[in-house]
Structure 1
Amino acid sequence: MPLLTVQPKPITNENFAKWGQVVRLPDADPNAVQVNQGTAQKFSHLAQFVNHRPAVSDTANPNPSLKSADANIAIFKCYKPVTADQFPIKLLERHSYSSQMFMPMGGDGNGSYVVVTAENGPDDKPILETLEAFKCNNTLGINYKPNVWHHPMIVVEKPVQFMTITYESGVGLEDCEEYWFTKESGEEGGAAALIQLQQS
């Protein structure tokens, strides 16, 4: 049988809302304020950053089965753009207890990346048939909600560096859970779906 093939769609606030938020400079924001002695505008609350685990500073941990977590501000240097017409999907990952934000650094609008998401199933695994793909230019960031299945970032056209923020505790499966589509693909390490990066 032919593999499920998904065409990325241009990302919007509306079509990405079930997965998280698009982090972008608003076209108009009545709540924007002048700051820095009138030399800048501040646009606040552009994403909803969530931590479902207690902070390290919380001495009254309401859930002792979960280790406390701190925000990890990191840089992902995606230095190998995908040049193929199609990209194989072999796995997805999720962060059950934390949002995860990716914000391109120095984006000039001439590069882009693709975001891939899927719904969680009744067996607590991603549902392959619900895969969605979104194309973003490198001036836009995205913020995943906790527990959203997604593929690691797919950079096309040219390298992109992302600043990321994720709450992490250092406990492997609590920080990041992977699901490999071995069953769906029918082979170890095989592709279960394709993302169409170039028009055929």
Structure 2
Amino acid sequence: MVTLSIEPLTKQAFAPFGDVVETEGNTPLSINQGYAQRFNGLANIDVAAEGGQVNISWFVASVRPAPIAIRLMERHPLGSQMFMPLNGADWLVVVCMDPAISASYRAFAARGHQGVNYARNCWHHPLLVLKDASAFLVVDRKGDGANLEEHWLSEQLQLGVQSAAS
């Protein structure tokens, strides 16, 4: 069994897998007579393959039993998939380059104000939350075509609790 160390979610570390969706480091536009700020271009929403359209959903996730067993990875070959937490709770992100190679796995600790946009074909674990009833805004693809591939792991991975930052 392999234990994954959890590292902080940063734009640089996550770049091979997609976008970190956050306002930090972005210059806002003042809108609504100065009563609001707008942050543009936070993620590359890629859903147009084979006539796909943008789909906006609301997910509510539950905490999985600890230690978290990583047994399934999935990817979406026809579009990106963005998750943005709505309750401010921290959460976890697990991705890999190749689900058959345990050394390609990465685990990230996402802060409650950080979302991720998994790039098209990025292998990722389904939603992992640290607080029950965690709500997320999800932007992904709807339309015809096979846009979900699942890979069940033959070797179980266990997600560790030791952070790279500690």
TM-score computed with the length of structure 1 as normaliser = 0.75
Q: Deviations 1:46-98 (Å, cap 9, x if unpaired)?
A: 111112514xxxxxxxxxxxxx22211111100x22352x2111110000110
Can you give the 5+ residue segments of structure 1 that lack an aligned partner in the other structure?
A: 55-67, 186-191
* Equivalent residues, number: 163
More strand by share: 2
> Does structure 2 conserve the Cα–Cα contact (< 8 Å) formed by 1:126 and 1:149?
no
Tell me what 1:40 maps to: 36
Contact kept in structure 1, 2:6 and 2:162, CA below 8 Å: no
RMSD over aligned CA atoms reads: 1.9
Q: Which one of 180, 188, 200 corresponds to residue 152 of structure 2? A: 180
Q: How does 1:1-200 map to 2 (within 5 A)?
A: 3-27=1-25, 29=27, 32-54=28-50, 68-78=51-61, 80-84=62-66, 86-107=67-88, 111-120=89-98, 126-171=100-145, 174-181=146-153, 184-185=154-155, 192-197=156-161
AA aligned opposite 1:175: N
1:101 CA drift (Å): 0.3
Distance 2:57 2:100 in 1: 26
Q: 1:168 to 1:127 in 2, by over 3 A?
A: farther
For 2:138 and 2:100, locate their aligned partners in 1 and report how far apart those are by CA, in whole Å: 23
Q: 1:148 to 1:43 in 2, by over 3 A?
A: same
Work out the CA distance in 1 between the residues paired with 2:97 and 2:25.
30
Could you say which structure has the larger radius of gyration? 1
Tell me the TM-score normalized by structure 2.
0.89
- The answer to whether the 8 A contact 1:83-1:156 is kept is no
Structure number with greater CO (CA < 8 Å, separation at least 6) is 2
**2:83–2:116 contact (8 Å) kept in structure 1:** yes
Structure 2's unaligned 5+ residue stretches are none
Write the letter of the residue equivalent to 1:178: E
**Percent identical across equivalent pairs?**
31
